[in-house]
Amino acid sequence: MSEETRYEVEFPNGEREATDSLWGAHHAIARRAAFDVDPLKPRNVLPARIYKLGRQYFGGRVFAEEIRSVSELSPG
């Protein structure tokens, strides 16, 4: 039986949001950044850490990446 990998975004304020894909994690960060008080420097949103979730990982999750700026969310 294969394990489905899910993702979790952890924001600076400690809030967490689960998503079904890495793209979904990036989208959750971008959405919050767009509606932040200062969308060009969303200090309430960034840096955001993304973790892979699953029973196959020791402790149930493993670090995937950290988004430090809005420009990291754009393709290319």
**pLDDT score recorded for residue 5:** 83
Q: What φ, ψ does residue 34 adopt, rounded to 5°?
A: -60, -30
Check residue 59 and report its DSSP letter: G
Band (pLDDT 50/70/90 cuts) for residue 3 is low
Domain extents in the chain? 6-73
User: Do 73 and 26 contact (CB within 8 A), yes or no?
Assistant: yes
User: Do 64 and 53 contact (CB within 8 A), yes or no?
Assistant: no
pLDDT tens figures, 8-66: 999 999 999 999 999 999 999 999 999 999 888 899 999 999 999 988 888 888 999 99
Nearest CA among 9, 70, 74, 73 for reference residue 42: 70
